[in-house]
Amino acid sequence: MTSNREAIGRLFRVLHDHTANQPPLPAIYPDQLAPVVRIGPDGTREMLTMRWGFPPPPALTTRLVTNVRNTASAYWRPWLAPHYRCLVPATEFCEYSDNLPKTQYWFARGPDRPAFAFAGIWRPWHGVRKGESGEHLLFSFLTTSPNALMRPIHAKAMPVILSSTDQDAWLQAPLEEALTLQKPCADDHLVIVAKGEHQQTSLF
């Protein structure tokens, strides 16, 4: 997430920035903090830092859940209510190829890497994360079937990338309407900006 906070605030119409002018993040990994945009208590958009990764469903795994596809699951339904939906800003994201040897590909909205948003969810959680015990704000984001650009590289899934016109619906629409946005973005809405080792990894 390499855009500065002022630019992100303008793009996502944030009125209250609680990230303390956090610098751009050249790499974001699971269990790390990243900026998230949500509807605040006063009904306006606010940006704050949350930790990436939900606790997993009981007895299934111990790994953090960084992305969610099965939105019909009873485990995820409470966090899909409008109050818990959010935008996860990013400038590019990485995925490994399915074939061997595994190769990293970086995807962005264009060669200049403009910021965009994943369809995210957030929740409060009490416990220990990164050695800190207490109340944490956690986020994850939705995935869906891959589009034509992604499919030859990673056939399993891709993040749900929201257009600027869909962001309000994701944050506020009734659930069934919001879930119609869980679909691959248009094939020409992403480009491959790097392959192999790359220092500007971001989210995924």
For residue 29, tell me if it sits in a domain. yes
Contacts 24+ apart (CB under 8 A), 40-47: 40/16, 44/15, 44/16, 45/12, 45/13, 45/14, 45/15, 45/16, 45/171, 46/14, 46/15, 46/16, 46/17, 46/18, 47/5, 47/8, 47/9, 47/12, 47/14, 47/16, 47/17, 47/18, 47/19
For residue 84, tell me if it sits in a domain. yes
For residue 174, tell me if it sits in a domain. yes
For residue 203, tell me if it sits in a domain. no
The confidence score (pLDDT) of residue 201 equals 42
Tell me which residue range forms the domain holding 93. 5-195
The confidence score (pLDDT) of residue 79 equals 97
pLDDT of 43-76, one tens digit each? 999 999 999 999 988 877 778 999 999 999 999 9
For residue 201, tell me if it sits in a domain. no
- Please tell me the total count of domains within the chain: 1
For residue 189, tell me if it sits in a domain. yes
Mean pLDDT of the 123-139 span: 93
> Residue 19, CB half-sphere, CA atoms under 13 Å: how many?
25
**Looking at residue 47, which CATH number applies to its domain?**
3.90.1680.10
The confidence score (pLDDT) of residue 31 equals 95
In the predicted model, is pLDDT for residue 204 greater than 60? no
For residue 200, tell me if it sits in a domain. no
**Shortest CA distance to 106 belongs to which of 38, 203, 183?**
203
